[in-house]
Amino acid sequence: MNAVVSWWNDHRPSKRRLIQLYSALLYNAHVKGFVQGSIYTGKAKAVCVPGFNCYSCPGAVGACPLGSLQAALASSNQHIGFYMFGILMLYGLIAGRSICGWICPLGFIQELLHKIPTPKLKKSRYTRALSYLKYIILAVFVVAVPMWYGLRHSIAIPGFCKYICPAGTFEGAMGLLSNPANSRFFGMLGILFTRKFVIMLIIGLACIFCYRSFCRFLCPLGAIYGMFSRLAVIGVKVDLGRCNGCGTCVRKCQMDVRHVGDHECIHCAHCMATCPQGAISFKAGKFTVIAPEKGCSDDNENSERIRKKVGKTAWTVAILVLCFALVWFNFLDPAVKEKKSASAPKAEVSSPENTSVNESSETVNESEAMESEEADDPGLYESQAPIGYEPGEQLQDFSAECLDGSTFTLSENRGKVTIINLWATYCGPCVQELPYFARFYHEHEGDVAMIAVHPNFVAQDVGEFVKEKGIDVPVTIDNEDEEIFGIVNGSTTLPQTIVLNRKGEVVYNEIKSVSYELLEQLYEKAK
């Protein structure tokens, strides 16, 4: 028994480790997403969390601040993202890089990797020099690339997320691909995924040998929060009256700090245990959250009792918040309630009654009758295929109000080849292929029905966006229940194109970009 107690005392998680674990779970409270292989798309996704957590992670209930910043910069030709700049400044002013040390899931993963027993690379003047690389990455991939494509080409290209981000690969891509329900996504993988997968492995291996390698050398979010190091309310503070300048705190720190609390400090409070003078404490303004063993110089006889009481209250509130989040994001939120299955039993399909034909029409020859039916009888295109979204099945009927005021009803377009495009203003490949759809729609006007469906999550004015782009095809925004996305088996992975033949039967349903030539081929197949 004593051995068990002794082992637990040596290995029990610290308060910081528990808070890191808590934050990772709170950020990813949509546990159902891991089971279903889907992404949460509710209204909470419009709010970004403080730490680095990929928007595309199946469990993520909020947006990544870095991804949101890139989206705001990419759309700066239309509006300034005051919300995004404001929320990052708020996070920075309140906590700064304490966010990195305490509530960043990616930082938590890096620290766990570093615990793997191997020889470790110690910090040096070389690692200190490399720590400035993240500021270059911030300037180029987070600021310059999105703004260039946004201002020059009106295309949202999140440079860091697209070309580097290991969280996007590990939490997003790997999190989704590991679910059997997403096996069809493997056909979309190309050289970009391969490059990012290799980058993820390299960064992961580096974290094993070098403490928080990504955080120290590459993370642009850490670079942003580091700019608030002198202003942040929460963080480690040094009691100058006790400090004798021995430098033990800097030598023992595994980050590339020059002094406690500078732009490289993640305020993990490890230095508190190493300071022989007890000169370091973790504070929120003037309130001491964690005091050294000797206590703080400004403590009174009730200070420790108050800290314990505040700590218990904070943990109680935090656990209640987590319980509510788990219930809400998995069961109560309208965005996660079960939608009608697209493959439900086939509903009775009403077809227009045949136009009465006078008795003399019996004398018309067979070929003339066929021509007349094709021209005038919509019932000719009635399908007996089961309802579904797979090739060979007929798509469930739906109606949608378009942005131009018209109404698109699927069943009313029987007799035409119908194309449904799932896209979004924030999806670069979607925006690039939109002109193909517009050109194709007008070149086959009268024989092709088309509708472009934007998800319910809207980052900017969709109507103004398509007007500026000159895309004059019917465009609609799906409703809160994501009815159309559910009918066609859509997801947040875009773009997706569905092509129906004249009977409303699916001949193509793929998540991938299309070219004009492919649209022509699909049209010939659907005819």
User: Torsions phi, psi of 500, nearest 5?
Assistant: -115, 145
**How confident is the model at residue 367, as a pLDDT?**
42
One domain, residues 257 and 222: no
The whole-angstrom separation of Cα 19 and Cα 41 is 26
Which residue among 294, 327, 360 closes a domain?
327
Domain boundary (190, 211, 232) is at 232
Do 47 and 187 fall within a single domain? yes
Residue 130: which of 11, 213, 251 has the closest Cα?
A: 213
- Amino acid 241 reads G
Kindly report the average pLDDT of the chain as a whole number. 87
How many angstroms separate the CA atoms of 504 and 337, rounded? 28
Q: What is the pLDDT of residue 359?
A: 40
> Do 227 and 238 sit in the same domain of this protein?
no
CB 117 within 8 A of CB 283: no
Q: What is the pLDDT of residues 167-190, one digit of tens each?
A: 989 998 888 888 888 877 776 677
Do 402 and 517 lie in a common domain? yes
What whole-number distance in Å separates Cα of residue 142 and Cα of residue 222?
12
What is the pLDDT at residue 259? Answer: 94
What gap in Å lies between CA 434 and CA 105, rounded to an integer?
36
Q: Are residues 117 and 187 in the same domain?
A: yes
| DSSP per position, 182-247 | GGGGGGG--HHHHHHHHHHHHHHHHHHHSTTHHHHHT-HHHHHHHTTTTT-SEEEEE-TTT-----
C-alpha to C-alpha distance for 465 and 146, rounded to whole angstroms = 17
CA dihedral 269, 271, 277, 282 (to 10 degrees): -20
Task: Look up the pTM and report it.
Answer: 0.79
Q: Are residues 142 and 168 in the same domain?
A: yes
Does residue 368 lie in a domain region?
no
HSE of 386 in the Cβ direction (CA atoms, 13 Å)?
9
Residue 168 is classified by DSSP as I
Q: Tell me which residue range forms the domain holding 185.
A: 12-232
Q: Which residues, at least 6 apart from 291, have a Cβ–Cβ distance to it below 8 Å? A: 281, 299, 303, 304, 307
- Find the distance separating the first CA and the last CA of the chain, reported in whole Å: 77
Query: Distance between CA atoms of 244 and 494, rounded to whole angstroms?
Result: 58
Q: How far apart are CA 126 and CA 149, in angstroms?
A: 34
pLDDT at 371: 42
Same domain membership, residue 253 and residue 228? no
* Low-confidence residues of the chain: pLDDT under 70: 1, 4-5, 10, 78, 187-188, 338-379, 459
**Whether 177 and 42 share a structural domain:** yes
* Contact in structure between 171 and 144 (CB atoms under 8 Å): no
- Of 250, 252, 251, the C-alpha closest to 261 is 250
Contacts of 277 (CB under 8 A, 6+ apart): 242, 243, 244, 246
DSSP 67-131: HHHHHHHHTTTT---HHHHHHHHHHHHHTTTHHHHHS-HHHHHHHHHHTSSS--PPP-HHHHHHT
- Regarding beta strands 417-422 and 496-500, do their DSSP bridges make them parallel or antiparallel, or are they unpaired? antiparallel
| 53 neighbors 28 (Cβ within 8 angstroms) | yes
Beta pairing, strands 496-500 & 506-510: antiparallel
Residue 343 is assigned to a structural domain of this protein? no
CATH number of the structural domain spanning residue 416: 3.40.30.10
Separation CA 492–CA 422 (nearest Å): 9
Indicate the number of domains in the chain: 3
Element (H, E) at 134: helix 133-137
Q: Is residue 346 part of a domain?
A: no
On whether residue 256 sits in a domain, the answer given is: yes
Residue 377 is predicted with a pLDDT of 53
Domain boundary among 232, 248, 268: 232
Q: Are residues 215 and 243 in the same domain?
A: no
CA 232 to chain centre: 27
Residue 439 burial (CB count, 10 A): 13
